[in-house]
């Protein structure tokens, strides 16, 4: 049966994350995988399993989620995305579909991923985001020092044990990950984005790193504290876990790093 690789975007606010969740004796939670499997199965004419490359959490967005499904549909490949989108809700979209080899696995074959965390800082009146940005940025009343954040961001680059920057680290076989880049840049007078790419991420890892960088921008965390957290694996040395709405999965690469 041919395998299709899908590129999917979604606004995560009203989803309980990517992964399908069927609590015993209760209605299934609304997840991206659940919606995709229900709609794609109806469109393609048979039950499907849509396997995603990244298990984004509740409220986290994606511009570049990658998934795969097997289908024997008669619908031409170039029309599959349009056909599925015609039945999908407005907060999820298939951007493209292509035939790949039957050995393609979205999770194990991924070589790098990139997440972006968006912040609005120096909010004058409250910690509420502007009405048209409220689902996509986190807000702090504090003015952030971008140079301080950049100095701390450099500490994360490389292969480290990120246990101090993970939620429930004991659920993973290893907490060692490689961060390829960690960039902090201003995108406006009060907007800053944090972009982190690596070979994989632990649960809440990007949100905790983002919280650590926020504290660095306030002058409350210095590079030596981050280096100590990496060395000792002490969660108390890292910053808070930022809310999910500011986080977006930007892309997933396969093959050589670029």
Report the candidate in 194, 196, 172 with the shortest Cα–Cα distance to residue 185.
194
Instruction: With beta carbons less than 8 A apart as the criterion, state whether 229 and 165 touch.
Output: yes
DSSP track, 93-123: EEEEEEEE-TT--TTTTEEEEEEEEEEEE--
Please give the structure tokens belonging to residue 74. 């008669």
Which residues fall within 8 angstroms of residue 29, CB to CB, at 6 or more apart?
16, 21, 22, 23
Give the C-alpha separation, 174 to 69, whole Å.
28
What b-and-e string marks burial along 177-199, b requiring 16 or more CB atoms within 10 Å of the CB?
Answer: bebbebbbeeeeebebbbbbbbe
* Residues designated as active site: 57
216: phi then psi, degrees, rounded to nearest 5: -65, -40
């Amino acid at each position: 049966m041919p395998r299709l690789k899908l590129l999917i975007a979604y606004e995560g606010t009203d989803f309980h994350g990517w992964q399908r969740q069927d609590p015993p004796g209760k209605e299934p939670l609304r997840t991206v995988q659940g919606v995709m499997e229900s709609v794609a199965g109806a469109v393609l004419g048979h039950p499907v399993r849509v396997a995603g490359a990244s298990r984004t959490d509740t409220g986290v967005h994606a511009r570049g989620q990658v998934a795969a499904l097997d289908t024997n549909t008669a619908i031409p490949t170039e029309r599959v995305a349009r056909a599925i989108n015609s039945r999908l809700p407005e907060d999820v979209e298939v951007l493209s579909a292509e035939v790949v080899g039957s050995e393609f696995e979205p999770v194990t074959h991924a070589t790098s991923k990139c997440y972006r965390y968006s912040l609005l800082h120096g909010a004058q009146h409250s910690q509420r985001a502007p009405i048209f940005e409220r689902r996509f940025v986190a807000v702090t009343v504090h003015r952030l020092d971008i140079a301080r954040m950049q100095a701390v961001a450099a500490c994360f680059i490389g292969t480290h044990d990120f246990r101090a920057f993970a939620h429930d680290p004991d659920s993973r076989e290893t907490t060692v990950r490689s961060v390829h880049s960690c960039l902090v840049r201003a995108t406006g007078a009060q907007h800053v984005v944090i972009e982190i790419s690596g070979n994989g991420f632990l649960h809440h890892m990007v949100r905790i790193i983002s919280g650590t960088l926020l504290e660095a921008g306030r002058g409350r965390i210095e590079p030596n504290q981050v280096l100590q957290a990496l060395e000792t694996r002490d969660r108390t040395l890292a910053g808070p876990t930022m809310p999910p709405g500011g986080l977006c999965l930007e892309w997933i690469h396969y093959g050589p790093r670029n």
